[in-house]
Amino acid sequence: MPDIRPAIPGAARDGRHLAHLRALEKKALWLSTWMIHNANHLRPSRDGLKVGGHQASSASMVSLMTALFFDVLRPQDRVAVKPHASPVFHAIQYLMGRQTREKMERFRAFGGAQSYPSRTKDTDDVDFSTGSVGLGVAVTAFASMVQDYVRLKGLSDQPEGRMVALVGDAEMDEGNVFEAMLEGWKHDLRNAWWIIDYNRQSLDSVVSDKLWEPITGMFRSLDWNVVIMKYGRLLEAAFLEPGGEALRQWIDTCPNQLYAALCFKGGAAWREALIRDLGTTSGIRGLLDSHDDAMLARLMTNLAGHDLPTILDTFHAAANGPDAERPACFVAYTVKGMGLPFQGHKDNHSGLMNLEQMAAFKAQCGIKDGQEWEPFAGLDVDVEDLKRFLTEEVPFTATPTRRLSAGFVPVPERLDVSVTERMSTQEGFGKVLAELAKGDTELASRIVTTSPDVTVSTNLGAWVNRRGLFDRHERHDIFKEQKVVSAQRWQGDPQGQHIELGIAEHNLFLMLAALGLSHDLFGARLLPVGTLYDPFVMRGLDAFNYALYQDSRFMLVATPSGVTLAPEGGAHQSIATPLIGMGLPKLSSFEPAYVDELAVIMRWGFAHMQKPDGGSLYLRLSTRSLEQPSRPLDAEAVIDGGYWLRPPAPDADLTLIYMGALAPEVLSAHAQLLEDVPGAGLLAVTSADRLHQGWMAARRARQAGQVAVAPVERLLSALPATARLVTITDGHPSALSWLGGVRGHKVAALGVETFGQSADLPDLYAALRLDADAIIDAVARVLLE
């Protein structure tokens, strides 16, 4: 028998308060169900596709969300809504006056309320975007850590909030959820609530019996306060009657599939099953005889997740008890589709009520024709008093907006870096941050770095030595105290500015997502910088995409790029990451070859991250040391994406175009070619992404009748139409091959198209056809075409 946390007597509100909550619960169920029905049955379809909307998954969350949004939550609390409960969220926001009827009527249509809550596309108050992949759950843990970070540094004067995740039980299959839990334990996670909608049904099946046992075991092992919410007040009262304990045991051992099937079949089926299994048990006959079929169905589905007094008592006890700051997991038993004609049915996940079913449900809710969207139609409470309750007594609506803002952190005109004769861009990155770490500037104070156990090997060591590890508690460097010599002087305390993570890339991107939303969530501007190995971008790609979808702002530094870490072998060599950088929205990706370019990009990036129309950055760096040029540099061209390292002659037949660490091979080939191809140009690309973005933007502007010329068009206009291009990159060749389409030039594209292997660079470049000889061969081929 699970350990059910006892409710606090009288913690639920008075009769009027509870009557209002029940009225709002009824309206949330009606509006969310009608919204989906309207989208699928009443709104004209132009493509014949089912719109969907998860009526059953929404219904199971109605009571929990009613209690939370209209009673428990405060303005400073932040919520990640279960994705399939999006219609309930929109309905609740509509009742609060924070969502429009027009948006509701256009649910899942262009410009309407989104299928899953979206920070950037919904106009109501979404804290975290969510989708059915567990990332919205996990990010709340990192948001709580970020709240501790800004509060302990005195960067925010906002009241301390609770980060709440409403979790579909099937989301607990997602590995990133448990990765986040472990990281939270390492960082002494506080002020996080995860509320699991334990309806025990997923898209294709009913979940395994007693799944709650391993789930809660994992939470307990990581020091979460686990609260199991199983039975409502009606069932708890029935358990005290003769035969009640046998009834409890029967429900506790009832297989999930059988329980769901009986929820669908109704009171007569419940009666038949109970008589069959418990008919000879003392007291059961009397208990059953005291309930007609409708009453029995109501009793047997009276789970805690649908019982408002139980929900309120449980949440308020957790919020005000001795464990109030501990992370809490609530396992709330519910029925999928509760209150709808297909409740409990195995196919209800994507099921939709038909016209006849909706007509019956409409009558049951007391809604008259033409009143379907009226927020207070069909209620048996004083509507004016209910409106006063919503505007004056609901804590969540106490502030006009919960979106915060923060000022712009000044960025100097240039970032200092000590450039030596030979350096890698990874080394240059470390030196830029090391110089910033020396100063007492606002910029330096707002930078926060984080890395998944590769801090030293991505050149963050000098920054951390000066700025320290962040820890809620003081952490001494025992090696230093024991006089063990080490280059790393790492001590942790609340003033540290580096958050060290375990080696799980999903956690890195979720931490960056939370840090990059700090200005909006907590009113404190942070400038997050995260580092990882470039090949492992793909291990965290789902969370990377999720962070950008929320419009979080951060700088990702990925190194080493491509095959430049040759001895490490193919698993540590990246091929597709330049295309990932180009393909992800709200991201500007760069791959500089030289440190002076990198310093310009980082300076621009710290400003770009703060602009309303800005975004995040992805820097693909290298461990390969190159001879560094001493020169004036056109910063604007570097940011636009490219510049002429060797301008072409007016009648040039050829141009070499390169990006990143292959610059020495390209320079060598270019020098050899000048005798046979005089006037050949050499174009340095610092960002294929920015060049491509500019080209697309210019084309769209011209289509709209505007005059526009893209930077890449200006660059390639220096070439005659007959010139040939040879592109070279330490990544997939298509990252640069598109340049031939700008002005119709023929292209030979060199790059990496196969997994690498362990080698030194000369052997690997030769094998992959990236060395100077391969470039010259490509030139010969393209000139003969």
**pLDDT value for 711:** 98
Say if strands 492-493 and 527-532 run parallel, antiparallel, or are unpaired. unpaired
* 733 pLDDT higher than 90: yes
**pLDDT value for 203:** 67
**pLDDT value for 204:** 66
What gap in Å lies between CA 232 and CA 228, rounded to an integer? 12
pLDDT of 347-379, one tens digit each?
Answer: 988 889 999 999 999 999 999 999 999 999 999
Contacts of residue 545, defined as CB under 8 A and 6 or more positions apart, other chains included, come to 584
pLDDT of 515-537, one tens digit each?
Answer: 999 999 999 999 999 999 999 99
Contact of 234 with 218, CB cutoff 8 Å: no
User: Which structure tokens are listed for 248?
Assistant: 């409890």
What gap in Å lies between CA 389 and CA 381, rounded to an integer? 12
What does the pLDDT average to over 307-317? 97
Distance of CA 379 to the CA centre of its chain: 38
| Burial of 306 (C-beta count, 10 Å sphere; 0-12/13-18/19+) | buried
Q: Provide the phi-psi class of 685: left if phi over 0, else alpha when psi is between -120 and 50, else beta.
A: beta
What is the enclosing helix (H) or strand (E) of 588?
strand 587-590
* 703 pLDDT higher than 70: yes
Q: Which amino acid is located at 405 in the chain?
A: S
**pLDDT value for 508:** 98
What does the pLDDT average to over 473-502? 86
* 278 pLDDT higher than 90: yes
* 468 pLDDT higher than 90: yes
The residues facing 480 across adjacent strands are: none
User: Which structure tokens are listed for 83?
Assistant: 């994705």
SS (H, E, C) 701-750: HHHCCCCCCCHHHHHHCCCCCCCEEEEEECCCCHHHHCCHHHHCCEEEEE
**pLDDT value for 433:** 97
**pLDDT value for 594:** 98
Nearest residue to 338 via CA among 366, 384, 372, 297: 297
Torsion sign, CA atoms 375, 303, 9, 189: negative
What gap in Å lies between CA 161 and CA 687, rounded to an integer? 40
What is the enclosing helix (H) or strand (E) of 499?
strand 498-501
* 132 pLDDT higher than 90: no
The residues facing 265 across adjacent strands are: none
| Burial of 513 (C-beta count, 10 Å sphere; 0-12/13-18/19+) | buried
Residue 560: asked if its preceding bond is cis (omega within 30°), the reply is yes
pLDDT of 713-731, one tens digit each?
Answer: 999 999 999 999 999 999 9
**pLDDT value for 10:** 40
Phi/psi for 710 (5° steps) reads -80, 150
The better pLDDT of the pair 208, 89 is held by 89
For residue 2, what pLDDT band results from cuts at 50, 70 and 90? very low
Contact of 606 with 410, CB cutoff 8 Å: no
Say whether 192 sits in a helix, a strand or coil. strand
For residue 120, what pLDDT band results from cuts at 50, 70 and 90? very high
What does the pLDDT average to over 410-430? 96
pLDDT of 633-683, one tens digit each?
Answer: 999 999 999 999 999 999 999 999 999 999 999 999 999 999 999 999 999
What does the pLDDT average to over 411-433? 96
Distance of CA 351 to the CA centre of its chain: 28
Stated length of the chain = 785
* 3 pLDDT higher than 60: no
Q: Which amino acid is located at 253 in the chain?
A: T
What does the pLDDT average to over 769-782? 95
Contact of 736 with 547, CB cutoff 8 Å: no
The residues facing 78 across adjacent strands are: 163
Contact of 304 with 5, CB cutoff 8 Å: no
CA distances from 463 to 434, 438, 460 (A): 5, 9, 5
Block residue for tokens 């009832």 = 254
For residue 133, what pLDDT band results from cuts at 50, 70 and 90? confident
Contact of 574 with 591, CB cutoff 8 Å: no
* 6 pLDDT higher than 50: no
What does the pLDDT average to over 541-555? 97
Nearest residue to 57 via CA among 334, 363, 373: 334
Least confident interval from 12-21, 191-200, 241-250, 752-761: 12-21
What is the enclosing helix (H) or strand (E) of 666?
helix 663-673
What gap in Å lies between CA 309 and CA 14, rounded to an integer? 10
**pLDDT value for 561:** 84
For residue 13, what pLDDT band results from cuts at 50, 70 and 90? low
Say if strands 447-452 and 527-532 run parallel, antiparallel, or are unpaired. parallel
**pLDDT value for 624:** 94
What does the pLDDT average to over 153-158? 94
* 8 pLDDT higher than 90: no
What gap in Å lies between CA 715 and CA 221, rounded to an integer? 60
For residue 698, what pLDDT band results from cuts at 50, 70 and 90? very high
For residue 567, what pLDDT band results from cuts at 50, 70 and 90? confident
Say if strands 724-729 and 746-750 run parallel, antiparallel, or are unpaired. parallel
What gap in Å lies between CA 190 and CA 691, rounded to an integer? 44
Across the chain, mean pLDDT equals 94
What does the pLDDT average to over 51-59? 93
What gap in Å lies between CA 191 and CA 327, rounded to an integer? 6
Neighbours of 702 (CB within 10 A): 13
